[in-house]
């Protein structure tokens, strides 16, 4: 949304029950602070956690094609990378040669 654009109640309502990434928007509040109107979305993640995110940032994430979540998605991605590293390390086994030297394959 363009900076300074006014959200009508209808515009805000169209985002309720919308899922962006892993977050489903349950409620949108407007907070006025320092001459700015910010819309904060109360969301439920697919894992069950509740989070509050700025609506503008959620909409930008959707346009970028990223996957907003409570943080569980990032942890899953880290876990998958670590699992691949563990498998690669397990395949890297030492081999004993006749001279008593150890070499890795």
Domain count, the chain: 2
Instruction: Give the Cα separation of 17 and 19 in Å (integer).
Output: 6
Containing domain of residue 87, as a range? 73-105
- Phi, psi angles (nearest 5°) of residue 31: -120, 125
Same domain, 86 and 50: no
Same domain, 98 and 58: no
Same domain, 60 and 87: no
Q: Among candidates 65, 52, 49, 60, which has minimal Cα distance to 25?
A: 52
| H or E segment and range at residue 41 | strand 36-45
Same domain, 44 and 89: no
Instruction: Give the Cα separation of 79 and 42 in Å (integer).
Output: 27
Same domain, 58 and 24: yes
Q: Which pLDDT tens digit goes with each residue over 45-104?
A: 999 999 999 999 999 999 999 889 998 988 888 888 888 888 887 777 666 666 656 555
> The whole model's pTM is what?
0.65
Same domain, 44 and 91: no
Same domain, 81 and 48: no
């Amino acid at each position: 949304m363009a900076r300074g654009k006014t959200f009508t109640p209808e515009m805000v309502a169209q985002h309720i029950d919308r899922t962006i990434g892993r977050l489903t928007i349950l409620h949108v509040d407007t907070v006025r602070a320092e001459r700015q109107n910010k819309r904060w979305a109360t969301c439920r993640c697919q894992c069950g956690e509740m989070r509050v995110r700025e609506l503008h940032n959620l909409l930008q994430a959707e346009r970028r094609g990223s996957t907003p979540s409570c943080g569980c998605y990032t942890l899953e991605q880290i876990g998958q990378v670590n699992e691949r590293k563990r498998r690669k390390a397990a395949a890297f086994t030492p081999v004993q040669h006749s001279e008593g030297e150890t070499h890795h394959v």
